[in-house]
Structure 1
Amino acid sequence: MKRTDTTEIRMRIVIDQPVAHVLHSLQSRDGGPLDPQRSGDGEPLAFDFHVRVGPGPKFFGDQVRSEGHLRRFVYVRVGQAAGDHASPWSRRMKVDIHDIDPALLARAERGGIIVTTICGTARDGSPACATVPALRRELVER
């Protein structure tokens, strides 16, 4: 698919209730940490990025990862994986994007940011990892 056949869409992942003082980041194109952030007292963290969306929908971009023919997701790195080598944790969260409602994608093509909010703390109180379900997904203006 040609780049001209895609539309760029702005996205944001909000990590609600991250474990305090633990470093989080997106995963860069080369697999390293990108835009590392630390929550002081568990306040939410936000990561902005762009994806290109083509018919299907198909997702492309520096942060987009794939699994199989359909699944597309973004990794959030945690602790050591985010660059904090003193952290007791080294984890990644998978945030699915292939399941975004096509109507929401169509609205986002006209402007705004698709915001996916996830919970950053697992049931045992440690940082969440593996596939983290969206608590909510909405389109917001800038």
Structure 2
Amino acid sequence: MAKADQTEIRLRIVIERPVAGVLHSLQGKDDAPLDPKTSKAGEPLSFDFPIRVGPGPSFFGDQVRREGPVRRFVYIRIGELAGDPSSPWSRRMKIDIHDIGAEMIAAAVRGGIIEMVIDGTGVDGTPACATLKPIARRVVPAG
């Protein structure tokens, strides 16, 4: 699909309750960690980035990954994968975006930010990983 048929919108992933001291980052187009952040005392981490949306809807962008004809998602890298070679963890969070509804997309096109809140700590007290469902998904004002 041509970029001319796509509209850029903003996504924000907020990781609540990240394990303190563990590096997190977005996964970029070349699999390199982007925007690495560490929570000093368990305060939330926030990652803002653009994606493009086309008819369907279809999702595109440097952080967008694909699996099959429909599934689109974003990775958050953790520990060693986020750029900390001394970390005991080498994990990724997989956050689906293909199921974002048309109303949210329309609100983001009008200037909002689609914010997805993820619980960053697993039941065992270690960094959450694998496919995670947002505990909240909403459109917030930009700025």
Q: TM-score, normalised by structure 1?
A: 0.99
Runs of 4 or more consecutive aligned structure 1 residues displaced over 6 Å after TM superposition: none
- Partner AA of 2:81 in structure 1: A
- What are the superposed Cα offsets for residues 25-78 of structure 1, whole Å, 9 maximum, x if unpaired? 000110010000000000000001000000000000000000000000000000
Q: Which runs of 5+ in 1 are unaligned?
A: none
Q: Please, what is the CA RMSD of the aligned residues? A: 0.5
- Aligned-residue identity in percent: 63
- What are the superposed Cα offsets for residues 69-101 of structure 1, whole Å, 9 maximum, x if unpaired? 000000000000000011100000001100111
Task: Return the offset for 1:107.
Answer: 1.3
- The aligned counterpart of 1:17 is 17
Q: Which runs of 5+ in 2 are unaligned?
A: none
Structure 2 counterpart SS, 1:62: coil
Structure 1 counterpart SS, 2:103: helix
Distance 1:108 1:63 in 2: 17
Structure 1 counterpart SS, 2:49: strand
Distance 1:139 1:103 in 2: 10
Distance 1:107 1:28 in 2: 25
Moved more, 64-73 or 100-109: 100-109
- The aligned counterpart of 2:96 is 96
Matched, 1:116 2:90: no
- The aligned counterpart of 2:127 is 127
Q: How many positions carry a matched residue from both structures?
A: 142
